[in-house]
Structure 1
Amino acid sequence: MTDQPERLAPLPADWQRCLAVVAHPDDLEYGAAAAVAAWTDRGADVSYLLVTRGEAGIDGLAPDECGALREREQRASAAVVGVSAVEFLDHRDGVVEYGTALRRDLAAAIRRHRPELLVTLNHRETFAGTYWNTPDHRAVGLATLDAAGDAGNRWIFPELLGQGLPPWDGVRWVAVAGSPQPTHAVDVTDGFERGVLSLMEHRTYIEALTDEDPESYVRNFLEMTTGAAADRFGGRPAVTFEVFPR
């Protein structure tokens, strides 16, 4: 008799505002954007915050040119899933440092946007317990988890008060996409195709990443990842999250 995989719980849906915080353009599109499409369909307000512009992501392009290109691709990608608010913090791609400066920037953004749900990317050491995660992903994911608390404490980063940013202690969950330890999932039956189109907007990056046909690469990747969760989520294609309630 084989052990059955533990079922994933549905991600809580009783919220209206979400802020998604990731390190690079394309981080959200490798899965989470299909969930974003489902959320905006029901009228939720979702905003994106990119810590870098991904300027070190394409070997054949100088950082200034690459960063501007990837920003354009990210804005187009966000629009596909109903997101118009896309901000960039201009930390340096590839050398993002976890620390108080990053936590302060994220706490300020949380106070500006006042989300109930925070989304970020995997802060753990590996993807799927196999592939080593990047320093930027780990730093931004961990800082986002910490900034959820920082944003609600007036005595941490008190200078934000002088910037017209009072404490916001309304974050109810932090949902970590791509975690090797998922607890929850979102049905992306209706959002899948827009998830594909959203990732396809990062065409320049994808073409630098693989020799495979871009659409085949994108569709195969998303079918694999959303299908892998189906056995734990009632047979439905899903995006998984590790959820930390607050």
Structure 2
Amino acid sequence: MHPPAIGLGTFRLQGQAAIDSVRTGLELGYRHVDTAQIYGNEAEVGQAIAESNVPRSDLYLTTKVWTDRLAADRVAPSLEESLRKLRTDRVDLALIHWPSPGDALPVAEYLPALLRAREQGLTRAIGVSNFTIAHLTQAIDAVGADAIATLQIEIHPFLQNRKVVAFAQAHGIHLTAYMSLAYGRVLTDPTIVAIAQRHGATPAQVALAWGMQQGYAVIPSSTRRENLASNLKAVDLHLSDDDLAAIATLDRGERLANPDFSPHWD
């Protein structure tokens, strides 16, 4: 039940911009939508889906449980609130958005609670986001690797996160890459631009195709119709071994999502 290869991210999209982006994305053919409780846009995402003519059964919908709702008795109620906002009876994937800040709560408390929410029918699958190898190890101990549908982490050409990726893959855990375009920084990178020119593609398409060719799901966001349409075409771009080798050299550990409550990264 891991997510489709490309989806529509909604991070930082608020109000009408969120509604318009999701509505346009669904019109263009996106069928995987990623939101979160902390984004403050679940109601807008739900409205856009409800007003579209896309059957709910055709969609893969992800949300994420925020850090102040990780107590065992709060996880499921928080998801029920998300479902009301999203106007659906279940999501396809529910993630723990971040490990408990400072590990105030152990993974063994909140991840089994998320598994129970799955058993209650609130979500079809569960997973984790922003987990380190240490947190993933605890997650596997708590619910088993087979129960973890994806690990969603920051991955782009400048932060390839190889240690965590290798650990997840060794345990059969699928990966979802967020910030694939590094806030647009990949768009001007000379190596990416050169590869894009060789393929008659955009730099964004190259970065997204690179992620998908590693086996990751990617969830780029945009408010512009042409960018949404262009990003979706990245599924048809095939990079050569030489292209992949060139992008492999761009890794410089440039982490962009690093709030003060972040875990100790690998």
With a CA cutoff of 8 Å and minimum separation of 6, indicate the structure with the bigger relative contact order.
Answer: 1
User: What TM-score does the superposition give when structure 2 sets the normalisation length?
Assistant: 0.33
User: What TM-score does the superposition give when structure 1 sets the normalisation length?
Assistant: 0.35
- Which structure: greater helix fraction? 2
